[in-house]
Amino acid sequence: MDTLNISAGLVAAAACSPMRFDSAAVDEGSGDLGKVSDEAYVTLATDDTYSLGALVLAYSLKRVHTSRQLVILITNTVTPQMRSLLSQAFDMVEEVNLLDSRDPANLALMNRPELGVTFTKLHCWRLVQFKKCVFMDSDTLVLQNCDELFSREELSAVPDVGWPDCFNSGVFVFVPSESTYNALIDFAKEHGSFDGKYPLLYCWGDQGLLNMYFKDWARKDITRHLSFIYNMNSNVAYTYLPAYKQFGRDVKIVHFLGAVKPWHHMFNLLTGHVQPQGDSQHMFDHLQFWWELFMTHVQPKLFPECAGLAGEMSKLTIKTAEELRQFGAGQHVVGGSEARQYAWERGQIDYLGEDAFANIQKKLDTAMTTPAEPPLSKAAPQKQSGEQPKSKKQAKK
């Protein structure tokens, strides 16, 4: 597989950004020397697409030289090819079953489909080989070392921006325990979750459930309220710009909340710049850094056999983009869309749609196998009916 060679573009992108992050400064070795063996950062991926986020998260932690173990929980929907990549980035890859008929707790929850992902996330409490862990959603990104979180107690978390009496479950400190896990499962079976029935709002139940279980978090101990810098909503620059300008450089963890994740944004292969969708321009710096890490440490290693977006992204190279521009593939769009052509001129790729690799290959094959039309020659004027051919002398006149 061809690798993506856009290092010059990435350097240029970083240079023009007011917030600079060095995406290349990542030690990808095992690095066990000096690591704390009984504490870990933990994340979760239920498919290959969210594994992309998990991989970038892992490399962002390596970049800041964390001294803790990196652990990821996965389900059986993650492909073997993606598992291979995860095992290179994480110290431990642990498969957990979303619904396992051999597990009585799972059987009890099979009638509660809204708690499916929640139940998977609760498996983090079963990592009893560690004395303390920090859970981080796979759509988070570490900007600065945050190992000091391991000095905090369970359950330490950042207040949620939507309802600050609740904590946001994208980042939290916890102590693995089978008894806590079992208690959470029993609680889920009995009470469910107040935010588990709103998938269209991207509420999957874990935050409501955990806030109900740790119900004294808001009032009991203020030391368990983490600073916003440990779980900053990526939209904050838009919603509260003055505070972001004042405190933004202190941020250690960014959380890309909402439906549109970093991997959903367009990326200009030729310039190395992300193209934020809609009104996302305000979070350009963090999106750019996410993509730089992805392009440097993840994309070159992807397999075509990976599922969904991960498989499509594995096939994109600068060579592909240049070939398409040469053959004008961007012009062959549904309805001859001018907007689509403009997107191609800017190097924006619709990875899973019109510009999926299967379509790319088809267009290239067609362009290379279709014989070129001969150049048009000037046709001699046709003779009128009954006209006699002119002599050479007449022609000279």
- The pLDDT tens digits for 39-80 are 999 999 999 999 999 999 999 999 999 999 999 999 999 999
Instruction: Enumerate the domain spans of the chain.
Output: 13-301, 315-368
The pLDDT of residue 339: 40
pLDDT at position 266, please? 85
Inter-residue contact 299 to 313 (CB < 8 Å): yes
Q: Are 33 and 296 in contact (CB under 8 A)?
A: no
The CA distance from 259 to 14, in Å, is 26
Q: What is the CATH number of domain 13-301?
A: 3.90.550.10
Q: Show pLDDT as tens, one digit a residue, over the chain (397 residues).
A: 333 333 323 333 333 334 557 776 776 654 567 899 999 999 999 999 999 999 999 999 999 999 999 999 999 999 999 999 999 999 999 999 764 434 555 545 555 555 566 678 899 999 999 999 999 999 999 999 999 999 999 999 999 998 999 999 999 999 999 999 999 988 887 887 655 444 433 444 588 889 999 999 999 999 999 999 999 999 877 678 888 889 999 999 999 998 889 999 888 888 888 887 666 556 889 999 999 999 999 999 999 999 999 999 998 776 555 554 554 433 333 233 444 444 444 444 555 555 555 665 565 566 556 665 555 554 445 545 455 555 555 545 4
Q: Which position has the token pair 């067609």? A: 366
Q: How far is CA 319 from CA 10, 269, 364, 368, in A?
A: 17, 10, 12, 15
Q: What is the pLDDT of residue 15?
A: 32
Residue from 214, 5, 232, 49 nearest 136 by CA: 232
- What is the SS3 string spanning 41-104? EEEEECCHHHHHHHHHHHHHHHHCCCCEEEEEEECCCCCHHHHHHHHHHCCEEEECCCCCCCCH
Residue-level pLDDT at 343: 47
d(CA 108, CA 368): 58
pTM confidence score: 0.75
Closest by alpha carbon to 211, among 237, 246, 187, 175? 187
